Every structure is written in C-alpha cells, then in structure tokens.
Amino acid sequence: MPSPDLVEALDLLTHGELTIEGRLVDASNLTLRCRVRWEGQEARCVYKPVEGERPLWDFPDHTLARREVAAYLVSEATGWALVPPTVLRDGPLGVGSCQLWIDPADREPLVGFIPDDQLPADWHPIATATDPTGQRYTLAHADDARLARMAVFDAVVNNADRKGGHLLEAADASLYGVDNGLCFHPEPKLRTVLWGWADQPLPEEAEPVLAQLGAAVAGDLGRRLATYLSEAEVAALADRIETLRRRGRFPLPHPEWPAVPWPPM
C-alpha cells in the first residue's frame, strides 16, 4: 500500500482505528503490529502500550512511549526525518506510542557482523567476535552519510540502545531509526553500534542543524518536549546540543558505561 505523507500519517496515527495484527516477539517490551484506518487512509503501524513496558533500573517507569514521541519531535526539528512519524494515543490496550511501520528495502544491511576476510575496506570496525567454529567476525558499519546523521542524532538524544536492527533503510533509500524509548536520560548513556566516527569532526551539515535545533529547544520545541520529558531531561538535551557544537566532534564512549548495546543486532 502507498505510504501516506507526513500530515496524513500523523492524522492517521492519531485518529485512526487500531486493529492488532500480532506481536513482535523479539522486543523487550510489548510491541504490537497493527493496522490503522481513518477516512479512507490505511497503513501498518507499531503500537507500544505503556502498560506493556518492562520496568528498568535507570529509566522511570511508564515513560518509554513518551520518549519515543520526543525522539520523533527532535528528529523532525533537525530536518533529517530520521524517525518515522510517531504519536502518543489511546489504543486497544491503553495509552501508548504509535509509529508508522517501515518496510525495509531488500538490500545488504549497513551494519552487521562481517567475516574478517570479507570486511569492506571502507567500513568502520567497532568490535570483534568469534563463532563456535573459530571463525572471526567484525561488528562494523558502512561509511555512509545517512549513518553519520543518525550518529549525530543519537548523540543529541543520548540513545542508550542503538542496535543495528533498529536501523531500517526504506525502498526510497531513506534511513530510519526505530525503537527510541531509551533516550533522553540526563546522565550520559550513549550505547550504539555507530562508533565509527568517534572523536572525528562532525559533518559540515551538522553545525547549522545543531544551531537550529538548539534554538528550537530553547523555544517552542522545548515547550512541546516538556509534555513528554522532565525539566532535567530537556535541560540535558540542550546541554548536549551545545557541547556537540562547541567540540565539533563526535563523542567518545563514556568510560563508565558500556559502549555497545547487547545484543548489538
């Protein structure tokens, strides 16, 4: 089915009738694939009810759905459209986040465990692993401008769980990051498979985007985010943006926090 445009997608997700198709069983929290229908429009979506969120030791209970929406709002403010349209709404199992479903393109993934003897020369190695037969693999990602944008975004939102499987390339070559519930903690939590540019200069396009984003957080965007995040989390977001602008470089892994999520993919 054709994808709705942005305005139609937000209206559809907000007002449409949700029909549950099934559960994504590999997800840590209750994650349901649904059909959503409204005024002749129809699409698939991902519905994550708040009551299905598993308690975590470092994030407040029942806040992940709100963080998903906040990540979408920040993504839209960058102009990079890195997160699919996402809203907070009531549904068959109560209030939760509702995100447009992205069908991934049938292409080679941009991140993965690659046999050492097949690792492309221009890919960025992140970690090594060995299978039970002794075959060595490297967790690596492509040197791709779309991934670099995602790495900047994840540094901004302090993404604590950027797995390779959360990166979806659509048929039109757009790259999306999904499963953004573990973001916006006020303490450093960045865990990602996209460390290939650590401490390297940010892309030239990042400076005006970060400047625009910082101004937005100080204004209307910050007020909108206050609906979904705490005052301390919005303040920490502003601080991270300013730090990235001042340094002009991708962050380094935090020495007291695991750098790569588990499992990485």
Amino acid at 123: W
Residue percentage of the chain with pLDDT more than 90: 88
- The answer to whether the pTM exceeds 0.85 is yes
Residue 256's pLDDT band (cuts 50, 70, 90): confident
Which sequence spans correspond to the domains of the chain? 6-104+144-247
pLDDT of residue 5 exceeding 80, the answer is no
Counting residues of the chain whose pLDDT is more than 70, the rounded percentage is 98
Q: What is the pLDDT of residue 4?
A: 60
pLDDT of amino acid 2: 43
pLDDT at 257: 84
Mean of all residue pLDDT scores within the chain? 94
User: What pLDDT does residue 167 have?
Assistant: 97
Q: Which pLDDT value is given to residue 28?
A: 85
Q: Kindly tell me if the per-residue pLDDT of 1 is higher than 80.
A: no
Q: Is the pLDDT of residue 3 over 70?
A: no
Give tens-digit pLDDT for 129-187: 888 888 899 999 999 999 999 999 999 999 999 999 999 999 999 999 999 999 999 99
Q: 222-243, pLDDT tens digit by residue?
A: 999 999 999 999 999 999 999 9
Give the pLDDT mean for 36-49.
95
